[in-house]
Amino acid sequence: MATPSRRDTPGALTGQAEDYLKVIYHLERSGEAAATSDIAAELGVAPASVSGMLQRLARLGLVRVERYRGARLAPPGRHVALQLIRRHRIIESFLATKLGYSWDDVHDEAERLEHAASTELIERMAESLGHPTADPHGAPIPTVEGRVDERSLRSIAEMTVRETARVVRMSDRDPAFLRYLAGVGLTPGVEVTIVAIAPFDGPVELRIARKRVSIGAAAAGQVFIEPV
Amino acid sequence: MATPSRRDTPGALTGQAEDYLKVIYHLERSGEAAATSDIAAELGVAPASVSGMLQRLARLGLVRVERYRGARLAPPGRHVALQLIRRHRIIESFLATKLGYSWDDVHDEAERLEHAASTELIERMAESLGHPTADPHGAPIPTVEGRVDERSLRSIAEMTVRETARVVRMSDRDPAFLRYLAGVGLTPGVEVTIVAIAPFDGPVELRIARKRVSIGAAAAGQVFIEPV
DNA sequence: CGGAAAAGTTAGGATGTACTAACATTCTGA
DNA sequence: TCAGAATGTTAGTACATCCTAACTTTTCCG
């Protein structure tokens, strides 16, 4: 009856500590070390809590911290983060494909399940989905070995007039944003052509499957594309 | 990125506290208040830890404790326990039916997921299964309102020679025990007829689908039946 | 360049949960 | 019945995590 620990790998971490590693992973993608205040903002905790946790994670060999200068993942920490991201994206795919969740609604559920699901469950889900390589928002799913295609993609905001490209992915964080995108027809896989770009960060007008839509510059910067 | 809390209902409990309520629910089915040491044994914690937790749960109005005499669930605690059991059994059914888990292997996974899954996920699973009323081990699934058919069933050990009955359920706790039962053909739904009962708690010989098998008295006491 | 603002850390405390050791109560059997 | 066994509780401690308040370091701008 006691809740069994999920951890199949040695060195059990709590879900909290795991979340820190995931956040550091994402922040670090900018190239800079993850800043204490950014981690705090991302997790919704006080900066002081982050300082404390970073010391613990450093003691465990999961991150390298330079005092006053932020944190970077050590290889074992990176591995944990990548497996968590794998879990997250497989769960999102499963919920959307097998349980009728809409793509804007899968994030929070996955955020909780990724800490509780066993590796066996994750792999069974992956198998029942035919081992997908991207989640419903187009984010690439790391392999069991921790390989992931993290090319930095161009966004719609970086396209030029008359250019055509295929939408690859978008952030999964804000359900309302995702619903908006789906509403105007922007989902992974569709082709878009830039019709016009208003100056001074103005809206971008584009064609999606014969329809004209106009989206704000901020939104355009959150939708990533690749050459057709 | 912060792990969102599962709790849709007010008064969030941790998974640990929830486990205590579930254990008390099961122990209380005997009619007696749940004893500190029994709760401790079930959860794998020290009796002192149970005393502490019972005080907290009592303060929250979830259990009623009589010092030195054990705990009983208060109505709100009973509700939490029943919903947890509903979650557990729906998850077990889902894993077995939709993800190819074997019935002896679903318990631990469900034990962790029941604390992390949202009510929405549970209801989507239930729906995709056609709203099952029993889990793979034959245990009844409480309704959303908290109703559950908890008749106390007779076990094979209480049958008499030449009597025939249908297997309804068995304990889901020990995977090896479940594999053994499946091996001799004892699964929910099959009919058994008692051929002989050795005296002094000796083995019970029975016929299952034309085959003769002999099981120990202890095992016979763990397999529950109803009249055909 | 130097002081104020921003960012980060430490100190000290709260909560939930666990432990062991010591003490208290209840049960049980001769 | 009553003493020892069994059971339960309290006290004191530990750890993970959070907080606020006070302090330190870094950054930035006039």
Residues of A with CB under 8 A from a CB of B: 1-4, 6, 15-16, 19, 22-23, 26, 42-45, 95, 98-101, 108-109, 111-113, 115-118, 120-121, 124-125, 128, 173
Rg (Cα) of chain B, in Å, rounded?
19
Q: Is the CB of B117 less than 8 angstroms away from the CB of A117?
A: no
Helix (H, G, I), strand (E, B) or coil at B207: strand
- Strand D: which residues 1-60 of A lie within 7 A (CB)? 13-14, 16-17, 43-46, 48-49, 52-53, 56
CA distance B81 to B138: 19
Residue B202 has pLDDT above 70, yes or no: yes
Backbone φ/ψ region at B42: left (φ over 0), alpha (ψ -120 to 50), beta: alpha
Classify B97 as helix, strand or coil.
Answer: helix
Q: Which fold has domain A1-150?
A: Arc Repressor Mutant, subunit A (1.10.10)
Residues of chain B with pLDDT > 70, as a percent, come to 96
DSSP state of B34: B
Q: Which residue is listed with tokens 């099952």?
A: B132
CA B189, CA A213: separation in Å to the nearest integer? 59
Inter-chain touch A112–B116, beta carbons under 8 Å: yes
The predicted-structure confidence for A11-63, as pLDDT tens digits, reads as follows: 578 889 999 999 999 999 999 999 999 999 999 999 999 999 999 999 999 99
For B154-227, CATH number out of 2.130.10.10, 1.20.140.10, 2.30.30.90, 3.90.470.20 equals 2.30.30.90
CA(A171)–C1'(C17) in Å? 37
**CB hemisphere CA count around A116 (13 angstroms):** 22
Q: What is the dotted CATH code of the domain comprising B1-149?
A: 1.10.10.10
> What mean pLDDT is predicted for residues B188-194?
95
Rounded-to-10 torsion of CA A83, A88, A90, A92: -170
| Percent above pLDDT 90 for chain A | 84
For residue range A170-227, what is the model confidence (pLDDT) as tens digits?
A: 988 788 999 999 999 999 999 999 999 998 888 999 999 999 999 999 899 999 999 9
Q: What is the pLDDT confidence band of residue A2, given thresholds at 50, 70 and 90?
A: low
How far is the C-alpha of A168 from the C-alpha of A173, rounded, in Å? Answer: 16
A214 contacts A179 by C-beta, under 8 angstroms:
no
- Residues with Cβ within 8 Å of A103's Cβ and at least 6 positions away in sequence, in order, are A96, A136, A137, A172, A178, A182, A187
The pLDDT value given to residue B184: 94
Q: Which of B1, B19, B125 sits opposite A19 (nearest CB)?
A: B1
Give the nearest partner residue to A19 out of B3, B113, B128, using CB atoms.
B3
Q: First and final CA of chain A: distance in angstroms?
A: 54
User: DSSP string spanning B130-199?
Assistant: T--SB-TTSPBPPPTT-----PPPEEGGG--TT-EEEEEEE--S-HHHHHHHHHHT--TT-EEEEEEE-T
pLDDT tens-digit readout, B161-177: 999 999 999 988 788 99
Contact A96, A103 (CB under 8 A): yes
- Identify which of B3, B101, B111 has the shortest CB distance to residue A3: B111
Residue A41: CB less than 7 A from any atom in strand C: no
pLDDT of B99 above 80 = yes
**B43: nearest nucleotide, CA–C1' criterion:** C18
Residue of B nearest to A25 (CA): B1
For A62, phi then psi, to 5°, come to: -95, -25
Ordered by start, the domain boundaries in chain A are 1-150, 154-227
For the cut 90, the answer to whether the pLDDT of residue A125 exceeds it is yes
- What is the rounded distance in angstroms from the CA atom of residue B157 to the CA atom of residue A14? 44
pLDDT of amino acid B7: 55
CA distance B178 to A223: 50
User: What's the rounded Cα separation, in Å, for the pair A199 and A133?
Assistant: 37
CA angle B56, A108, A225 (to 5 degrees): 160
What does A82-121 look like in DSSP terms, one character per residue? HHHHHHHHHHHHHHHHHS---TTSHHHHHHHHHHHS-HHH
Judged against a pLDDT cut of 80, whether residue B12 lies above it is answered with: no
- pLDDT > 90 in chain B, percent: 83
Average pLDDT of span B203-225: 93
Angstrom distance, A48 CA to C13 C1': 14
User: Which letter, b or e, does each residue of B49-64 get, where b requires 16 or more Cβ atoms within 10 Å of its Cβ?
Assistant: bbbebbeebeeeebbe
- pLDDT on residue A103: 86
Q: How confident is the model at residue B15 (pLDDT cuts 50, 70, 90)?
A: confident
Angle at B57 between CA B55 and CA B63, to 5 degrees: 100
**pLDDT of B1 higher than 70:** no
What pLDDT is attached to residue B151?
Answer: 83
**pLDDT for res B8:** 57
Residues in chain B closer than 8 A to A117 (CB atoms) = 109, 112-113
Among the partner-chain residues B44, B99, B124, the one whose CB lies closest to the CB of A128 is: B99
Answer left, alpha or beta for residue B62, where phi above 0 means left and psi between -120 and 50 means alpha: alpha
| The two structure tokens encoding residue B179 | 């594999």
Q: What pLDDT was estimated at residue A34?
A: 97
